[in-house]
Amino acid sequence: MTDKRRLEDLAIFGGNAAFGEALHVGRPNIGDRGRLLGRINQSLDTKWLTNNGPLVQELEHTISEMMGVRHCIAVCNATVGLEIAAQATGLSGEVIVPSFTFVATAHALLWQGIVPIFCDVDERTHNIDPGQVERLITPRTTGIVGVHLWGRPCDVKGLEEIARKHDLRLLFDAAHAFGCSHEGTMIGNNGDAEVFSFHATKFVNAFEGGAIVTNDGGLADDMRLMRNFGFAGYDKILRIGTNGKMNEVSAAMGLTSLESLDAFVATNHRNYERYEQNLAGVPGIHLAPYASDERCNYQYVILEIDRDMTRLSRDRLQEILWAENVLARRYFYPGCHRMEPYVSSPAQSVLSLPNTEYLALRVLCLPTGMDVNVGEVDRVCDVIRVAVAYGDEINERLDHLVARGTIN
């Protein structure tokens, strides 16, 4: 094990890397392998591999119960889930979304010819700012898609009020917020519908998968049809649809993940607290907090770096960590509005999103999950502590290396 105390101990300056094997963000959590394989065998035995099979139905039922929500429609991934929810709620024209999110939130809209209009976030919560939403409403606006970033609920009440006042539809991208609550109610019960992701990197996974949840029965019926080409019987098509079905192997993984949900959350929580304790005294560094009186999944450990205090930019800290084999990630840099095709679209050019740009330069996502233990968290924190302690010196040395063309 390496001990990081001095500048020379850092791998970027020739020290031994803190980790022999890469420490990843979003390494898949895998539940009980025996239970998973049992379920897959069951599916192979019955030869019911997809098309609303028994495992998909069981997954939907389990999620509905957990969330206390009336309807759950399992889908092949959250992006298609968002597309189906957008179609089913009649979104068109312009829809207001935060820019500080995974790009799928915006792509799901534009893929269907709906123009995402990017809204700034609150610098404290990282979530869409309802105060800014209202200013972006035009006669073409049909809805709002809120995102519960990092699993921290966005201002649901504020958005609901605006949606009601302006007669807009309201969806939530809840890809990060599975198993989280807001004011005592499970996420999944807000707006017209909410969409979860069970992608392999999410803390509950189904290899690929997602779920749309809603308390609106009419909407649920429509979305079920849309998920399966609009089929209402063996040869009866009622409407346009797509192929958004979840297969049985994914449902088997989803159900198996849910059985371990408490263990996943407990590990994430333990790691989060360990990071928090270790980094408490480091000037200019703090972790995005979770509400202790709500249910949280703690799946993202989000470091905020105040460059004026650390003397070290987020990008330099990331370079230092990568040299140690700690693959910390710049989620969600640089913000959707700075990516193609949005950055080149005239609709976006008038927007100013200062909080999004501020956060996109200061946030770093650290490794956690079932594959990260507290000893590893301690070693990651040692690197951060040394890096910040020698901020100015590190800058000088790295500037020198950049000037010599040794590094970028």
Ligand X SMILES: *Cc1c(COP(=O)(O)O)cnc(C)c1O
Q: Minimum distance from CB of 175 to ligand X (Å)?
A: 3
Q: Which CB sits closer to ligand X, 24 or 199?
A: 199
Q: Which CB sits closer to ligand X, 254 or 391?
A: 254
Q: How far is CA 181 from the centre of its chain?
A: 16
Q: Which CB sits closer to ligand X, 199 or 227?
A: 199
Q: Minimum distance from CB of 382 to ligand X (Å)?
A: 29
Q: What are phi and psi of 60, to 5 degrees?
A: -60, -45
Which of these, 154, 188, 218, lies nearest to 63 by C-alpha position? 188
Q: Which CB sits closer to ligand X, 155 or 173?
A: 173
Q: Which CB sits closer to ligand X, 331 or 390?
A: 331
Q: Minimum distance from CB of 151 to ligand X (Å)?
A: 10
Q: Minimum distance from CB of 148 to ligand X (Å)?
A: 8
Q: Minimum distance from CB of 332 to ligand X (Å)?
A: 8
Q: Which CB sits closer to ligand X, 30 or 200?
A: 200
* HEC secondary structure over the chain: CCCCCCHHHCHHHCCCCCCCCCEECCCCCCCCHHHHHHHHHHHHHHCCCCCCCHHHHHHHHHHHHHHCCCEEEEECCHHHHHHHHHHHCCCCCEEEEECCCCCHHHHHHHCCCCEEEEECECCCCCCECHHHHHHHCCCCEEEEEEECHHHCCCCHHHHHHHHHHHCCEEEEECCCCCCCEECCEECCCCCCEEEEECCCCCCCCCCCCEEEEECCHHHHHHHHHHHECCECCCCCECCCCCECCCCHHHHHHHHHHHHCHHHHHHHHHHHHHHHHHHHCCCCCEEECCCCCCCCCCCCCEEEEECHHHHCCCHHHHHHHHHHCCEECECCCCCCHHHCCCHHHCCCCCCCCCHHHHHHHCCEEEECCCCCCCHHHHHHHHHHHHHHHHCHHHHHHHHHHHHHCCCCC
Q: Minimum distance from CB of 60 to ligand X (Å)?
A: 16
In whole angstroms, what is the distance from residue 259 CA to residue 408 CA? 45
Q: Minimum distance from CB of 330 to ligand X (Å)?
A: 14
Q: What are phi and psi of 333, to 5 degrees?
A: -70, 140
Binding residues (CB under 6 A) for ligand X: these are 77-79, 101-102, 104-105, 147, 173, 175-176, 197, 199, 210
The CB density around residue 6, as the number of other CB atoms within 10 Å, is 12
Q: Minimum distance from CB of 107 to ligand X (Å)?
A: 9
Q: Which CB sits closer to ligand X, 147 or 213?
A: 147
Q: Minimum distance from CB of 331 to ligand X (Å)?
A: 8
The DSSP bridge pattern shows strands 326-327 and 23-24 to be parallel
Q: Which CB sits closer to ligand X, 310 or 356?
A: 356
In whole angstroms, what is the distance from residue 298 CA to residue 368 CA? 9
Q: Which CB sits closer to ligand X, 327 or 336?
A: 336
Q: Which CB sits closer to ligand X, 2 or 242?
A: 242
Q: Minimum distance from CB of 187 to ligand X (Å)?
A: 13
Q: Minimum distance from CB of 198 to ligand X (Å)?
A: 7
Q: Which CB sits closer to ligand X, 168 or 365?
A: 365
Residue located via tokens 């979860």: 196
Tokens (6 digits) for 297: 């999944």
